[in-house]
Amino acid sequence: MKIFFLSLLIPLFISSQNLGRIAVSKIEGPNRFYSRNFSNKLEKELSSAGFEVVERGDVNQLMEEWKLQSSGLTGGDNVEFSGISNADFLIVGTFNGINDYYGIFATIQMVDILDGSVISTASLDGQISKKNELYTIGIESLVEQLVDETNRKMEAYIDKKNKETLRLQEHAEKLEKEEEEKIVKKQRSKFFWRFIISTIELLVNILEIFNNSEEKQERFNFR
């Protein structure tokens, strides 16, 4: 019984650990609506993972500083962020391809506020293609990559999705085969009844010929 309760408490203890204070910038997407939703859901997932999500502060200033550093105009020196003094990390990134045939592609980075260096990078490489997948397993996968440097959730999801796709394909093939068998049976049934009808018509014709022959013979005998 003690072991059972410990097994329940350990995950709670781990999830309650504070991994640091983090701010999420607006993740650039296809439009403002998608960007806002993505950023908000990313904040919730980071909070669930153990981060303390803080107010974004002057995000515009932060992004200007980040773009300046990323462009290389600082001569390779790290930029000290002044926009958020109450955060340890900043999340920046982009995504695109929602409902696209080729899938969704996203990249987010965790930046150290202290010196502007990239601590960790996470990405989606077209494994998913739907909006609801991006806001659920997609964001979960990105946070898992940032925190644990693994991608088990996405791998398990894709494996399950592939199995479901295979099951649906097999079911569709089974239905198609059954439909083909029905068509073949229907054609055989038509052929069978046509054969019966043709045979009956042939017998009727033979009988008529036979009867006509008998009538002619009787007339001849009568004469």
CA separation for the pair 188, 182 (Å, rounded): 10
* Per-domain boundaries in the chain: 16-150, 151-223
Phi and psi (nearest 5°) for 119? Answer: -85, -45
DSSP string, 148-203: HS--HHHHHHHHHHHHHHHHHHHHHHHHHHHHHHHHHHHHHHHHHHHHHHHHHHHH
pLDDT for res 48: 93
pLDDT given for residue 80 in this prediction: 55
pLDDT by residue for the chain (223 residues), tens digit each?
Answer: 444 434 444 444 444 568 888 888 888 888 889 888 999 999 999 999 999 988 765 555 555 555 555 554 444 455 555 556 678 888 999 999 887 788 999 999 998 888 778 999 999 999 998 989 999 999 999 999 999 999 999 999 999 988 887 787 777 877 888 888 888 888 888 888 888 888 888 888 888 887 777 666 666 666 5
Q: Please tell me the predicted confidence (pLDDT) of residue 202.
A: 85
Question: Which CATH code, of 3.40.50, 3.30.450, 3.30.160, 1.10.10, is assigned to 16-150?
Answer: 3.30.160
| Rounded Cα–Cα distance for residues 51 and 42 (Å) | 11
